[in-house]
Structure 1
Amino acid sequence: MNRVLYSLCGSNPARPFSPHCWKVVMALEHKGLAFEEMPRAFTAIPEIEGGATATVPLLNDNGRLVKDSFDIALYLDETYPDRPTLFGGEGGKAMARFVESYSLTVLHSAITRIAVKNIHDIIDHDDQVYFRKSREARLGMPLEEVAAARDEEISAFPAKLQPLRQMLKVQPFIGGDGPLFADYIVFGALQWLRITSGSTHLEADDPVSLWFERCLDLHQGRGRSVTAA
């Protein structure tokens, strides 16, 4: 059996950093499914599987191609129902949809402003040209102007995690006693921040930090396989 996950990296293929790809890495580990991760640079993505996708993650599961992190998680639960569930039923899917929306609209926007210049600096020249053009169009300003406000973004970041912090007072994971895909969604965001900027920018005794450390330890410490910047 051949199972390949295409993910995203900068100049160093040993340091994949995409939050969406990390969700799928953790989901595959959760399911106990063997796979090979094949990180690719931004400008190499159109060459994957003969042009099968414009974005990663892309999973090739023995010839079946599945893209989009959430769709991959749904596929894994439907295709391998005898292995640990990623959602725990329809309610868990609905919860994960909410967590995904929260992560994309609140966390990702903040992390982009904190780490965008870091990301630019760890990718190759051709990728830098693409990245600068696309991100400056999205952000409406030069990367250097975004980076100039980085300290303010870092100071404001912990408050954006207050919903998770409040919930962790009564349970160790978003999924309850153990992790579900909803945990991997937020983990992916903070892992992206950790790998590209060197820190989650949270106090060590913050309940979210403690939860993140638990997630890093999951699946034989897969999350620790890539160190902080």
Structure 2
Amino acid sequence: MAITLYELVGRDAARPFSPHCWKVRLALRHKGLDFQSAAAGFTEIPGLEGGYSKIVPILKDGETLVADSFAIAEYLEDTYPDRPSLFGGEGGRTLSRFVESWTQRTVHPALARLAALDIHDILDAPDQAYFRESREKAFGTTLEDFVADRAERVEPFLKSLEPLRAILVKQPFLGGESPLFADYIVFGAFQWARVSSPFRFLPAEDPVSVWFERCLSLYEGEGAKVPAAA
């Protein structure tokens, strides 16, 4: 049965940008599963699959619906155990939870301070209104003020990546010699910034940048198929 992945897009339906959707896209490729992408803007999500979820990604596998990127990864692992493992065992599943927690509490907020206004600018008008209202309420300031000092925020952000960098100078992936879902979790965050914002902050020689380029090339260049924002 066909697998459908509902993904978040802006004006250009061919440019999915959600970090959580990118995690699942690479997880599906890791498992060697064919899927079709279905694009949705922010304001379209509540109408998907009869209002099944307020968030994407949503995976539809036959008659089964699953929302939330980690829940989808666990579904794929448990439903297709004969295909390459996303976690490398139960210990890896638990450690991936830590990686997700760190990424969403350290990397995502920092990237939002760099790219929030650019994300707004790639959206359709109805989604722009939704995004501005919801994010400015959450941030307590305008999008413009939220990113006004982004150039000064780059160095502290790069320093915060030292735990990641220390691992990646010793091995090609967080998963070791080959990637696991933990890699896709962190990759999704950087891909979010790459696809939605032209602001560049990772030096090319940084081990994190080298790892990210390595991830872009995975699965016949799945990540690189969507060009960087310009």
TM-score by length of 2: 0.97
Is the 2:56–2:67 contact (alpha carbons within 8 Å) kept by the matching residues of 1? yes
In 2, distance between residues paired with 1:23 and 1:85? 14
SS in 1 for 2:161: helix
In 1, distance between residues paired with 2:175 and 2:155? 28
Which runs of 5 or more residues in structure 2 are unaligned?
none
For the pair 1:29 / 2:21, whether they are aligned, the reply is: no
Is the 1:199–1:228 contact (alpha carbons within 8 Å) kept by the matching residues of 2? no
Deviation, 1:192, is 0.4
In 2, distance between residues paired with 1:161 and 1:4? 34
Residues 184-206 of structure 1 deviation map (CA, whole Å, 9 limit, x = unaligned):
00000000011111355111111
Name the counterpart of 2:88: 88
1:1-150 to 2 correspondences below 5 Å: 1-150=1-150
SS in 2 for 1:54: coil
TM-score by length of 1: 0.98
RMSD: 0.9
- What fraction of aligned residue pairs are identical, expressed as a percent? 56
SS in 1 for 2:222: helix
Residues 75-112 of structure 1 deviation map (CA, whole Å, 9 limit, x = unaligned):
00000000000001111011101100110000000011
Question: Counterpart amino acid of 2:157?
Answer: F
Is the 1:190–1:200 contact (alpha carbons within 8 Å) kept by the matching residues of 2? no
In 1, distance between residues paired with 2:210 and 2:182? 17
In 1, distance between residues paired with 2:104 and 2:177? 25
Question: Counterpart amino acid of 1:53?
Answer: S
Residues 163-219 of structure 1 deviation map (CA, whole Å, 9 limit, x = unaligned):
110011221100011000000000000000111113551111111111011100100
Deviation, 1:156, is 2.3
Deviation, 1:33, is 0.3
Deviation, 1:22, is 0.2
In 2, distance between residues paired with 1:130 and 1:73? 29
Name the counterpart of 2:163: 163
Name the counterpart of 1:175: 175
Which runs of 5 or more residues in structure 1 are unaligned?
none
SS in 1 for 2:38: strand
Residues 32-62 of structure 1 deviation map (CA, whole Å, 9 limit, x = unaligned):
0000011210001111111111110000001
Q: More displaced, 145-154 or 214-223?
A: 145-154
SS in 2 for 1:148: coil
In 1, distance between residues paired with 2:59 and 2:208? 29
